[in-house]
Amino acid sequence: MPPTLVCRTVSTVVLAGLAALVPRPVAAQQSCNAQPDLEGKLTCIFQRQIAPLVNDLDQILIEGPKYLAQRLPPLQAMGDLGGQMDLETPNAFSVSLGVTSGVYFDFNQEVADDFQRLPKTLPEPLPLPSAVLSARYGVTPDWELTGRFGYVPEFKTKSRDWEIAAATRTFALGTRYRLSRGEGSWPTLVSSAEVSYFTGYMEVGRGLTYPLITMREAAKLADVPWEPVRTAINDEFREANGGTDILGPADDVTIGTFFRGAPILGWDIYQLSLEQRAAWALGFFHPVLGLGLDAAQGHVDSGVQLEIDLRVTRPRHFVDVAGNFKEPVLPDQDVTLETEDPRRFGARLIAGFEFDLGDHFRLPFEAQYDLGSGALLGGFALRFAWR
C-alpha cells in the first residue's frame, strides 16, 4: 500500500467533490466493497459521507436565490415614510433618519426542507434591516423631489446551528405629488414614483463545521483490517512527527472538514415603485393607508467561496497537516452557480401613522405587507424640515 494513500484519497475526494458542488449519488455499501483495491474502497466510503453535505449545499445555492428573488423587491420599495406633504414653500427641504426592515418567513420550508445532513434550523423569521437617510426638496407647495440612501454594514443573525451574515445598500430617487388637500373626513391624497437600485449579499452557514467519518470506521465499512490503514498513516507522517509513529494501536484518526466562508447569495435589482397614499390629520396624529405597485429587473445569484481545511486528529493530540491538505476549493473569487430574476411585478398594502411634532419635526411609523410573498416590512424615522 503506498504511503500517500490517505492524503490522496481524502484530499482528492473531499476537495474535488465539494468544488463541483453537484450532488453525487450515494454509492451502496456493496458497490464500495466491490472496489478492487483499498484506495478505491476508501474513496467510495468517503464519497458516501460527502454526498449528503454536497446535496445540502446545493439546496442553499439553488433554492436560496429563488427565495430571495420573491422577497427582496418589497423591501427595496419601502421608501420615504409618511403620507403628508411637509414642504409648503418652494426651496424648502427636509431630511429623515430611520430604520426599515423586512421580516421573512418559510426560510426553512423553502430552503432547508430537503436537507439530508445539515440541521433544518436556519434562522427564522429572517430579518433584513437597513438604516435609511432620506431627503425631500419642495419644488412647489404640491410637488416634492426625494432621494434615499439605505445602508447596513455586515450584520449577523444566529439560530441554534447556523449563522447568517448580510449587508445591503440602496440608492433611490423619486417624486411626490399632492393630488388633493384633506378637508374634514376627506384625506390628503399623495402619489409618488421612485426608481431605485438595491445591492447586497447574504452568507449562509458561516463557520460551519462538518465532521466526516473516521479512518477506522471507513476501513471497517470497506471490510479492510485496520492495521494496513494505520501503517499507511504512520508511514505518511512519521518523518514530520520526529521519526515516531503518530498512531498507536488504540488510536484512531478523525478527518474533519472546516469551512472557511460560506455559500453566498448576492443581488443587484433595479426597480420602479408607484405608491398612492391617503393621510388624515387628526390633530397631531396622522394615520396613513396606501397601496404600492412595483416593477423590478436584475438578478439574484448564488456562488461559493469556500476554503476547506482538512485536519487529522487523535485522542489528546493534534497533528496539523494543513500544509498537505489545506487549499482553497475556489481560489479568491466568487463563482456564480445559479441566477434568478427578481419577481417582475408586485403589490404592497401600506398602513401607518405619523406624529406631527410642531413646525419642524415628524415621526412616522409604517408597516407594509407584500401580497405576493407574504413578507412583512416595517420602519420608523425622525424627519426634520427647514421651511
Residue 291 lies in a domain: yes
Distance CA(262)–CA(204), nearest Å, equals: 6
Residue 225 lies in a domain: no
Residue 82 lies in a domain: yes
Q: How many CA atoms lie within 13 A of 366 on its CB side?
A: 32
Residue 240 lies in a domain: no
| 3 state DSSP class of 28 | coil
Q: How many domains does the chain have?
A: 1
Residue 372 lies in a domain: yes
Residue 230 lies in a domain: no
Give the pLDDT of the chain (387 residues) as one tens digit per residue.
Answer: 343 454 444 444 444 444 444 444 444 445 677 777 777 777 777 777 777 877 888 888 889 999 999 999 999 988 878 888 877 788 899 999 999 999 998 988 888 888 888 888 888 888 899 999 999 999 998 999 999 999 998 888 888 888 888 999 999 999 999 999 888 788 999 999 999 999 999 888 765 666 667 777 777 887 778 887 778 777 776 766 667 776 777 766 665 555 555 788 889 999 999 999 999 999 899 999 999 999 999 999 888 765 555 555 554 444 443 333 333 333 334 445 778 999 999 999 999 999 999 888 999 999 999 999 899 999 999 999 887
CA-closest candidate to residue 217, choices 246, 250, 256, 253: 253
Residue 362 lies in a domain: yes
CATH number at residue 176: 2.40.160.20
Report which secondary-structure segment, H or E, holds 193: strand 188-204
Distance CA(9)–CA(16), nearest Å, equals: 11
CA-closest candidate to residue 31, choices 60, 51, 59, 7: 51
C-alpha distances in angstroms, 7 versus 49, 108, 246, 347?
A: 17, 36, 15, 56
Burial 73-110 (b: 16+ CB within 10 A, else e): bbbbbbbbbbbbbbbeeeebbbebebebbbbbebbbeb
Residue 190 lies in a domain: yes
Q: Which domain holds residue 60?
A: 55-207+259-386
Q: Taking the C-alpha atoms of 200, 203, 204 and 210 in order, what is their torsion angle to the nearest 10 degrees?
A: 170
* Confidence at residue 315, expressed as pLDDT on a 0 to 100 scale: 46
- C-alpha R_g of the chain: 28
Q: What are phi and psi of 310, to 5 degrees?
A: -95, 130
| 3 state DSSP class of 282 | strand
CA-closest candidate to residue 14, choices 35, 42, 36: 42
